[in-house]
Amino acid sequence: MVTNAKDVLDNLRALAPEIRDRAAETEAARRIPPDLIGKLRDAGVFRMYTPKSHGGLELDFSDGLEVIAATARADGSAGWTVMIGSATALLFSRLPRQTFELIYQGGPDLIQAGLAGAPRGRAEVVESGFRVSGTWPFSSGCQHADWIIGACVVTREGQPVPGPIECGPPQTRIVVLPADAWTVEDTWSVSGLKGTGSHSTVLEDAFVPDAQTFELGGPSCLEGPLYAGIGPWIPLMHAAFAVGLAEGAVDDLAAMAGTGRQQLFARTSMQESPVFQYEVGRLDADLAAIRALLKTRAEGHWARARTARLGEPEVMGESLQAGVWITATAVAIASGCYTLGGGGALYDASPLQRRMRDMHAAAQHALVQQQNYQGLGAARLGRGGEASLRGR
């Protein structure tokens, strides 16, 4: 029985060898194998942020980040899938309470997929709801999801409805429908995070009741610090993924060196080479640094959430800054491990090439791209507005 964070971590760590061993199978299938999704559900990873009132664990935010990192340490695609799926209750907390009750009446282990940030659909206002059409790329985990979401521009008589800011972007809503209401387009042929099944999802003139829509910045239907806000949590979840994947890359490099491997023209084995030892020590220092920043930001934001201060102006900027820097540093760690692996790292059988590809793919997400530094720097200098949660 899964009752706390330790249970989830213990279950995940017991499952980690199988996740690692099946990484090539996952990539070939371009999705997490269904039976492995079942084992992850049983481990409790998808209920860790579900409220206790609905059978979930409602873990402290930092405890959930440890689970995301531990999964990514085993395999990037699995870690990304757990990161996306574990956010389900956090997102759905912005739905009306009656809708939340309906969605969770079947149990706490629900998985959502879709695109919540960039409005790739149109939601035409009709009586009691919207007629929705659109195509949403990057719908990670859509083949095993229970519910799928998509951000839309709200229209009336075909014209965008103005948003709350004069001359600003139009009004947007995120629509929520059961997975079987969507069409999945096979579009996920990519270089990294191949096993996440991040295909495109499509709706064509589908009716969505108003009660099955929400805004990211809307009020929560749930009590408690975990549901105090969505924006500040998401970049830190990406950061936890990056930390875990970087840890896995260093693990894989150390395992390669432990075989006694000696590179061409080298006088000693990798393990005995002073240059190799120096580089591993440097990478390990970078790893300690990203762990430390993630811990500091997560604990600081959790303390704010517990005292109703998560909405303070600087919080979102701190989350974005941490997510960008941690991810960029993790890219350097994974790339460094790949380079130190030499010619052997080129082969499909080497996990180092997969780590590098997965980490570079994760860094393409808009929330953790380095272009965010510009807005953060402008805000720091008093030359811009508050940082906001951007979509992919």
Asked if residue 164 has pLDDT above 90, the reply is no
Residue 129 has a pLDDT of 97
Place 11 in a pLDDT band, splitting at 50, 70 and 90.
very high
Domains 112-214 and 231-380 share a fold: no
Place 271 in a pLDDT band, splitting at 50, 70 and 90.
confident
- Whether 136 and 114 have beta carbons less than 8 Å apart is answered as yes
Torsional class of 44: left (φ above 0), alpha (ψ -120 to 50), beta (otherwise): left
| Domain ranges within the chain, ordered by starting residue | 5-92, 112-214, 231-380
Asked if residue 385 has pLDDT above 70, the reply is no
Residue 264 has a pLDDT of 66
Mean pLDDT over all residues of the chain?
Answer: 94
Asked if residue 31 has pLDDT above 60, the reply is yes
- Whether 36 and 210 have beta carbons less than 8 Å apart is answered as no
Residues 6+ apart with CB under 8 A from 88: 46, 49, 50, 110, 111, 112, 147
Place 389 in a pLDDT band, splitting at 50, 70 and 90.
very low
**CATH, range 112-214:** 2.40.110.10
Place 384 in a pLDDT band, splitting at 50, 70 and 90.
low
Asked if residue 38 has pLDDT above 70, the reply is yes
C-alpha to C-alpha distance for 391 and 115, rounded to whole angstroms: 8
- Check residues 380 and 360 and name the one with the higher pLDDT: 360
Output the CA–CA distances (angstroms, integers) from residue 376 to 235, 237, 241, 314, 335, in the order listed: 14, 19, 22, 10, 26
Averaged pLDDT, 79-91: 98
Fold of 5-92: Butyryl-Coa Dehydrogenase, subunit A; domain 1 (1.10.540)
Q: Which tens digit of pLDDT belongs to each residue from 277-307?
A: 999 999 999 999 999 999 999 999 999 999 9
Averaged pLDDT, 253-266: 84
C-alpha to C-alpha distance for 392 and 389, rounded to whole angstroms: 10
Place 166 in a pLDDT band, splitting at 50, 70 and 90.
confident
What does pTM read for this prediction? 0.95
Among 55-69, 141-155, 198-212, 364-378, the range scoring the smallest mean pLDDT is: 364-378
C-alpha to C-alpha distance for 9 and 15, rounded to whole angstroms: 10
Where b means 16+ CB within 10 Å and e means fewer, 263-299 reads eeeeeeebbebeebeebbeebeebbeebbebbeebbe
Place 390 in a pLDDT band, splitting at 50, 70 and 90.
very low
Output the CA–CA distances (angstroms, integers) from residue 259 to 252, 262, 270, 282, 307, in the order listed: 11, 9, 9, 21, 51
Residue type, 49: Y
Question: Which runs of E-coded beta strand occur in 143-194?
Answer: 147-156, 159-160, 172-178, 183-185
Of the candidates 111, 128, 120, the residue with the CA atom closest to the CA atom of residue 172:
120
Averaged pLDDT, 191-212: 98
Q: Which tens digit of pLDDT belongs to each residue from 90-147?
A: 999 999 999 999 999 999 999 999 999 889 999 999 999 999 999 999 999 999 999 9
Residue with tokens 């589908």, as numbered in its chain: 206
Residues 6+ apart with CB under 8 A from 202: 134, 135, 136, 182, 183, 184, 185
Residues 6+ apart with CB under 8 A from 144: 31, 32, 34, 37, 111, 197
Of the candidates 139, 127, 179, 170, the residue with the CA atom closest to the CA atom of residue 152:
170
Q: Which tens digit of pLDDT belongs to each residue from 226-236?
A: 999 999 999 99
Please list the helix, strand and coil fractions of the chain in percent, rounded to the nearest 5, in that order.
Answer: 55, 15, 35
Residue 262 has a pLDDT of 80
231-380: CATH architecture: Up-down Bundle (1.20)
CA atoms within 13 A on the CB side of 115: 25
For 367, the enclosing helix (H) or strand (E) is none
Averaged pLDDT, 55-63: 97
